[in-house]
Amino acid sequence: MGIEEKLMMARQLERLGVDVIEAGFPISSKGDFEAVKRIAAEIQECEIAGLARTKRDDIEQAYQAVRSAANPRIHVFVSTSNIHLMHQLKKTKEDVMRMAVESVRLAKSFTQSVEFSPMDATRSDRNYLCKVIESVIDAGATTVNIADTVGYSVPWEFASLIRHIRQNVKGSEDIVLSVHCHNDLGLATSNSLAALLEGARQVECTINGIGERAGNASLEEIAMSIRARQDLLQFETAIKTEQIYPTSRLLTKITGVNVQPNKAIVGRNAFSHESGIHQDGILKHRMTYEIITPESVGISKSSLVLGKHSGRHAFQERLTDLGFTLDEEQIQQAFQRFKILADKKSEIFDEDMEAIVAETVIRAADKYRLIGLTVVCGTAATPTATVSLEVSETPIKGSEFGDGPVDATFKAIKNLTKTKSKFLSYSVNSITGGTDAQGEVTVRLEENGNIVVGQGAHEDIIMASAMAYLNALNRLAYLEKNPVNTRARRQASWQ
């Protein structure tokens, strides 16, 4: 995510009601530092955390990023498992213990809220793990986060570990015990809930379950499990569950990572009923086959139909319903795009609205801009694309042949931009049904070790393809100007 995208997501997380936003890893890049700093300055209702390794520079940079927050937190982590100590850190247990304690003390000198994570805790020696935890509590940690970094644990085993820590670590009753579960075996949510039953009171989770490898515990699954099973999970969260679906959709549009159709809570099929038996039950009583209602997670059931006769007020209301907070200039840009699309489509769906916001708002300052595109193709014609661009505000134009209209378009763009990126994937989806549906194109490019996702949505699939390609090229151009500290990011990628 770019800075503006992170800020937009943070506003929505605040609206969702999360307790803590871990906004980034400030030492990793200038862009990440600025993003965390902007979020800390603007978000008032959530605690803002910055991630740091057990290094003075990391901790000092994290504090500089979060210091303006209403409730700043520094989150320090280091590995404690034998396999990590031996093969990754190449440190002794004594070395790591000292690093952990010194880092927590330093963080505590900056802010009262300090979180410590023993990375790969579930594969660590329990006696050593407890000694480390007890030491960092003595040093001032207020939250200790038990990380199942590689998704190795199973629920009864993870519950046993949390219980063991509660029973054997002096001072554990005075801190918040947190859990951070990965989903490599599909057990992240189950492990997190099992930990709650043993005394954990913070769950580190993500929207749509995104994260390293198979992802992290899914916020929507945790929150709705607690809400649906109060008979067994007698806990409360501050999550406004009606904001879950808008938050999920916003993240999808920003990252280009689609949610699988059968994903729990937020998947396209989560509240769809195809079986005749299920349909019969639902028609008679919804609770026969729905344990939660779509409205409870914010899935729109509005009968308001948006089209070419709709005004700005109705347009703005729907944006609000979908969870977008835009300023006046952004609303005007999005409304103009809405009017153009409404002249071509009989009905504008929620997914169309999200695509409009993605195209007109969630974009960085672009180096490459599409001015015009003309494509000639057919059974008796060689596919030819003529493309007009602005490159750093300089207009250029060129034509290329290709194996098809998309190939010709991409070749023309590549020639005009003089870029050398490699295509990793290209996919096309219909945003809504019908012959007048918008097409959404997603491309993944790689150049100089940077991998980016670009998206474009348009009723003309060739235009959508060009827009997606240029969006990806603009992201690459941004990364060239703002290089990421890849090594630092990889060391934090468990998070």
CATH assignment at residue 388: 3.30.160.270
Distance of CA 72 to the CA centre of its chain: 21
Residue 80 lies in a domain: yes
pLDDT band at 272 (very low <50, low <70, confident <90, very high): low
Report yes or no on 127 lying in a domain.
yes
Is residue 275 included in any domain, yes or no?
Answer: no
Q: Starting at the edge strand that comes first in sequence, how are the strands of the sheet with 439-447 ordered?
A: 422-430, 439-447, 450-458
Range of the domain at 155: 3-257
Same domain, 348 and 389: no
Q: Residue 282 domain-assigned?
A: no
- Say if strands 381-391 and 368-378 run parallel, antiparallel, or are unpaired: antiparallel
Share of the chain above pLDDT 70, in %: 90
Same domain, 142 and 16: yes
292 lies in a domain? no
What is the predicted pLDDT for the residue at 279? 54
Name the domain boundary from 210, 241, 257: 257
Look at phi and psi of residue 140 and say left if phi exceeds 0, alpha if psi is from -120 to 50, else beta: left
Residues 352 and 408 in one domain: no
Last residue of a domain, one of 360, 380, 400: 360
Would you place residue 364 in the very low, low, confident or very high pLDDT band (cuts 50, 70, 90)?
A: very low
Number of domains in the chain: 3
The residue count of the chain comes to 495
Q: Are residues 14 and 125 in the same domain?
A: yes
Residues 128 and 246 in one domain: yes
Residues 90 and 128 in one domain: yes
Residues 241 and 389 in one domain: no
Tell me if 455 is assigned to some domain.
Answer: yes
Helix (H) or strand (E) holding 381: strand 381-391
Q: Which of 210, 235, 257 is the last residue of a domain?
A: 257
Place of tokens 């991630």: 51
> Sign of the CA dihedral 430, 432, 437, 438?
negative
**According to DSSP H, which parts of 214-255 are helical?**
219-228, 244-255
**Same domain (yes/no): 355, 378:** no
Residues 469 and 408 in one domain: yes
- What pLDDT, in 10s, does the model give residues 36-78? 999 999 999 999 999 999 999 999 999 999 999 999 999 999 9
Asked, for residue 199, whether it belongs to a domain, the answer is yes
Which CATH number do you get for residue 78?
A: 3.20.20.70
Whether 493 has a pLDDT exceeding 60, the answer reads: no
433/325 same-domain check: no
Q: Give domain status of residue 273, yes or no.
A: no
197 with 333, same domain: the answer is no
Same-domain status, 352 and 222: no
Q: 275: pLDDT confidence band, cut at 50, 70 and 90?
A: low
Percentage of the chain exceeding pLDDT 90: 63
494, exposed or middle or buried, with CB in 10 Å at 0-12, 13-18, 19+?
Answer: buried
